[in-house]
């Protein structure tokens, strides 16, 4: 399994870029119960029939579409509610390159633990102006 930009945040949460179809069997073998995608259906790289593929492996699929070019506070709030609801489940969360996921996980960690984890945010990218603005807004509103 060689998924781009993979990071194990905790025993229960791993984040990454887009897995290949073959990677899902390994994800299942490693005990992950839920796969969450933040990719948009129109993204240039998506997995056709991802939900069906995961269902056949007895993995729950959740889709929280986040537009890379226009992320919103509401997108983050949905992500946050999801993580709060599934705190005891083993989650694999991905998007295309792990930019959306790492940004949202950074914010989630900050709001939950009141500490900045720049390593989560900047491990795979430096947020562009759109994402930096969203991150700053959420941090200021919850700060």
Question: What would the mean pLDDT of 87-98 be, rounded to a whole number?
Answer: 96
Total structural domains within the chain: 1
Q: What is the pLDDT of residue 10?
A: 94
Is 1 part of a structural domain of the chain?
A: no
Is 113 part of a structural domain of the chain?
A: yes
Is 2 part of a structural domain of the chain?
A: no
Q: What is the pLDDT of residue 113?
A: 83
Mapped onto helix, strand or coil, the DSSP state of residue 77 is helix
Is 126 part of a structural domain of the chain?
A: yes
Structural domain span for residue 104: 7-141
Scored b (16 or more CB within 10 A) or e, 77-100 reads: ebbbebbeebeeebbbbbbbbbbb
Residue 143 has pLDDT above 70, yes or no: no
- The CATH number for 101's domain is 3.90.190.10
Summarize pLDDT for 47-92 with one digit per residue, the tens: 888 999 999 999 999 999 999 999 999 999 999 999 999 999 999 9
Question: Is the Cβ–Cβ distance between 111 and 142 less than 8 Å?
Answer: yes
Mean pLDDT of the chain: 92
């Amino acid at each position: 399994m060689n998924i781009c930009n993979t990071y194990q945040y905790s025993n229960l949460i791993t984040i990454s870029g887009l897995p290949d179809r073959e990677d899902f069997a390994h994800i299942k073998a490693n005990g992950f119960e839920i796969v969450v995608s933040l990719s948009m259906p129109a993204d240039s790289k998506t997995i056709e029939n991802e939900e069906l593929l995961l269902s056949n492996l007895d993995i729950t699929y959740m889709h929280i579409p986040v537009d890379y070019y226009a992320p919103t506070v509401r997108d983050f709030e949905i992500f946050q509610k999801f993580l709060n609801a599934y705190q005891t489940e083993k989650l694999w969360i991905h998007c295309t390159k792990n930019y959306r996921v790492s940004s949202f996980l950074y914010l989630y960690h900050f709001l939950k633990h009141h500490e900045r984890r720049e390593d989560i945010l900047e491990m795979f990218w430096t947020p562009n102006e759109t994402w930096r603005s969203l991150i700053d807004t959420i941090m200021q509103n919850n700060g």
